[in-house]
Amino acid sequence: MQTTRRIMSRALYLGLGLKASAIDQQAQVVYTSAIKYDHDLPEYNTTQGVHDRGNARVTTPTLMLAHALELLFTKMKNDAFPFHEVVAVSGSGQQHGSVYWAQGAHAKLSKLSAETPLQEQLRGCFSTKDSPIWMDSSTTAQCRALEAAVGGAQEMATLTGSRAYERFTANQILKIKEEQPDVFARTERISLISSFMCSLLLGNYAPIDTSDAAGMNLMSLKTLVIADVFGCDVYASAQSDSASLGAAYRAKHADVCNLHGQFVPFQSAILDLACRPNSDSAGKTEDRSHLHACDPRSAQHKIATPNMGNFDAYTSMLSRYAELEAKVVQEAAARDGAS
């Protein structure tokens, strides 16, 4: 099911998940479309998008994730979505889930063709066809082993931000290494589901965002470096309606920072209409330079939310988010000044 309205803006921000959400410069939702695994992709025989294999093992077919992205873009094309007006794209993928690229997969990834469906081009690209996901809780033994290896649950939390939990990626990787050594030996690269989807768009292995890496039991909070403890490269880089709407906001934030040539606080970027000119239906450009995020005339009506109560809920969180964001920026500046 999809919804759309007349698009007045020349700049759209696209957020991707199982759903696509596009917002305009005023942060208004102008398009949505969604994929439902069980209904739209019945050939994978999933129930609510997963395979419950018993013994607390829960996985998702890796190829289905790529197929869903292909189908989502096909729906958007059939809806005449104006891809040419998109200035920034961001994505949101389920946390913790992992994808295992087979040896030689990068060569295929770097040569993806628009003429052939993704799912056909990616056959044979994965050392295991199943991706363990956040619902899996079969790795208790691996959790205890990793905690013991670093000196206990508290030390694991100090190092990585959390004690070892079954759904966290490090424990899932260790389980595969121990129980399916042939799969691990054939693995060229490990992605999170979020970085996997990004990789498909890049045609190259995408780095892992630090916020996602924090849910792996692998990243040192002090150095933001992911431990290469399994011999497989995993890298990190510094980053409702649905998760896709949040991703669309992030896309707008990134574009605003790029336009200003410097970091702009998230709250200001989302609320600030002056970041890009807006053209009306007659093609005239409206001067919005007099409006700012702190101006009461430019705040509430620019927040996109099908549920109007969301504005009050998120407004209370934005100030705290701004405080945390400012702290991170100050600490980064201090580190740069000391180096």
CA nearest to 97, candidates 5, 233, 215:
215
- Would 279 be classed as within a structural domain? no
Give a three-class secondary structure readout of 78-105: HCCCCHHHEEEEEECCCCCCEEEEECCH
Q: Answer whether residue 257 shows pLDDT above 50.
A: yes
Residues 6+ apart with CB under 8 A from 174: 139, 142, 145, 146, 230
Per-residue confidence at 247, pLDDT binned at 50, 70, 90? Answer: confident
Q: What's the domain count of the chain? A: 1
39 in a domain, yes or no?
Answer: yes
Mean pLDDT, rounded, for 13-21: 88
Higher pLDDT: 158 or 223? It is 158
- Residue 116 included in any domain: yes
Ranking 205-214, 265-274, 303-312 by mean pLDDT, the lowest is: 303-312
Q: Would you say residue 151 lies in a domain?
A: yes
| Structure-token pair, residue 45 | 């025989």
Whether 319 is in a domain gets the answer no
Residue whose tokens read 């691990």: 184
CA dihedral 258, 259, 265, 269 (to 10 degrees): -120
Asked, for residue 276, whether it belongs to a domain, the answer is no
Residues 204-218 pLDDT 10s: 999 888 888 888 988
Q: Does residue 58 lie within any of the structural domains?
A: yes
Domain containing residue 38: CATH number: 3.30.420.40
Task: Give 271-282 pLDDT, tens digit per residue.
Answer: 654 344 444 444
Tokens in use for 126? Answer: 């994965």
pLDDT score for 68: 95
- Residue 310 and residue 304: Cα distance in Å, rounded? 9
Range of the domain at 245: 12-267
DSSP code per residue over 256-319: HHHHHTS---HHHHHH-GGGS-EE-TTSPEE--TT--TT-GGGSGGG---SSTHHHHHHHHHHH
Q: Is residue 166 part of a domain?
A: yes
